[in-house]
Amino acid sequence: MQKSIESVSVFAPATIANVGSAFDVLGCALEAPGDTVVATFCERPGITITAIHGDDGKLPLDPTHNTAGVSVCCLVDALTNKSGTPGTNRGISLELHKGLPVGSGLGSSSASTVAAVVAANELLGSPLSRIELLPFAMEGERVACGAAHADNVAPCLLGGFVLIRSYDPLDVIQLPAPSSASIAVVNPHLELKTSDARKILKAHVPLASAVAQWGNVAALVAGLFRDDLELMGRALHDTIIEPERAQLIPGYKEAKSAALSAGALGCSISGSGPSIFALCNDPLTAERVATVMVEAFYKAGVSSTKHVSGINTVGARVIERK
């Protein structure tokens, strides 16, 4: 007889929301870095967060205020209502290992939320599919940024590039991932609140700019289907959001310019920043691009951390069952 599972560890990756021109509708998952969450059955009923490592004490242990806690509570409530109390009246404890810096624009809250939801679902016998988990993960985003956005959680759950066509009704479309893309990511050591990065945006935009933007968004999607990195690079061009948010990131313009000079096909802000990403043809180019971006930030007085990653095509993954 197979021993029942008491504990599941899940890794969920960093994600790049917006992806240049596709503000608020597109996101993609990276292979690394990411967060790991361990979900374990415990005697205490309900959801408990026992520890958060690597957040410098920034995140709340109270599960009603923690994105991962909120999402898992919603999930367990829904499953309980659906099929009786799961896990024989036991509770679930969560232990979060943050590999992603908070407020970095790399989908840090989404990674914790998705890892926790996938781990809890697995612990409960995997009653729901990945796409069925999405609404629960989105509840965590409501806690993190005031709105149930899906452009980080959807690619984090599903992998690859994911388009959110509409929220009412929710219409999520998985797109092909380019087979050979390498992404250089640089995280300047500045904290930028999503709410501040939203506030800077103008409520109205010129129609001509919007048209140019949706031409680029269309081309970005075509580039994904064609596996055409050059086209994707051209199509990242964002004339609406990036010029506003660039003002909040000292060194951004210099870093972008350095990235393009060093061979990046395109470069933009990851999520609401301050992290930035550059699309490259191969890992060697991406390493070189990441290095020149770090140097450019350094010259602007900002220290930063670099990562080079391929596109994660599977989303969050179970790394251990005990």
**What is the rounded distance in angstroms from the CA atom of residue 137 to the CA atom of residue 113?**
6
141 is catalytic: yes
Least separation in angstroms between CB 28 and a second copy: 13
- Phi, psi of 84, rounded to the nearest 5 degrees: 80, 170
DSSP state of 268: E
The tokens 């609401």 sit on which residue? 272
Say which of 15, 36, 113, 194 is annotated catalytic.
Answer: 194
* For a second copy, the closer CB: 236 or 296: 236
Tokens representing 149?
């956005």
The verdict on 235 binding a second copy (CB under 8 A) reads yes
CA distance 276 to 297: 11
DSSP secondary structure code for residue 126 in this structure: -
Catalytic residue among 36, 141, 242, 285: 141
Decide whether 21 or 275 has the Cβ nearer to a second copy. Answer: 21
The residue from 215, 247, 299, 320 that contacts a second copy (CB under 8 A) is: 215
User: Segment near a second copy (CB under 8 A), from 40-48, 213-221, 290-298, 304-312?
Assistant: 213-221
200 counts as binding a second copy under rule CB under 8 A: no
Q: Is the peptide bond before 169 cis (omega within 30 degrees of 0)?
A: yes
Shortest spacing between CB 315 and a second copy, in angstroms: 19
Q: How far apart are CA 49 and CA 60, in angstroms?
A: 9
Distance in angstroms (rounded) separating the CA atoms of residues 33 and 56: 17
Candidates 131, 147, 200, 218; binder of a second copy (CB under 8 A) is 218
Task: Pick the binder of a second copy from 3, 4, 203, 301 (CB under 8 A).
Answer: 203
Applying CB under 8 A, does 214 fall inside the site for a second copy? yes
Indicate whether 146 belongs to the interface with a second copy (CB under 8 A). Answer: no
> What does the block give as tokens for 273?
């920043």
Angle between helix 67-83 and 130-145 (nearest 10): 140
Nearer to a second copy, 222 or 319 (CB): 222
83 binds a second copy (CB under 8 A): no
- Give the residue with the Cβ less far from a second copy, 218 or 284: 218
State how far the Cα of 237 lies from the Cα of 265, in Å rounded to an integer.
Answer: 11
Does 199 participate in binding a second copy (rule CB under 8 A)?
Answer: no
Out of 15, 21, 40, 312, which residue is the one contacting a second copy (CB under 8 A)? 21
Closest CA to 98 of 145, 132, 53: 53
Surface-to-core class of residue 27, CB atoms within 10 Å of its CB (0-12 exposed, 13-18 middle, 19+ buried): buried
Give the nearest distance from C-beta 110 to a second copy in angstroms.
19
150 binds a second copy (CB under 8 A): no
Q: Stretches 188-196, 205-213, 252-260, 287-295: which one binds a second copy (CB under 8 A)?
A: 205-213
Is residue 132 flagged as an active site residue?
no
Cα–Cα distance between 139 and 66 in angstroms, integer?
11
Span of 133-141, 179-187, 211-219, 251-259 interacting with a second copy by CB under 8 A: 211-219
Question: Considering only residues 4, 57, 199, 202, which one is a binding residue for a second copy as defined by CB under 8 A?
Answer: 202
Distance set, CA 42 to CA 72, 91, 142 (Å): 14, 5, 27
d(CA 81, CA 222): 42
CA–CA distance, 263 with 139 (Å, rounded to integer): 39
| Residues assigned a catalytic role | 141, 194
Interface with a second copy (CB under 8 A): 21-26, 163-166, 171, 173, 175, 201-207, 210-222, 225, 231, 234-235, 240
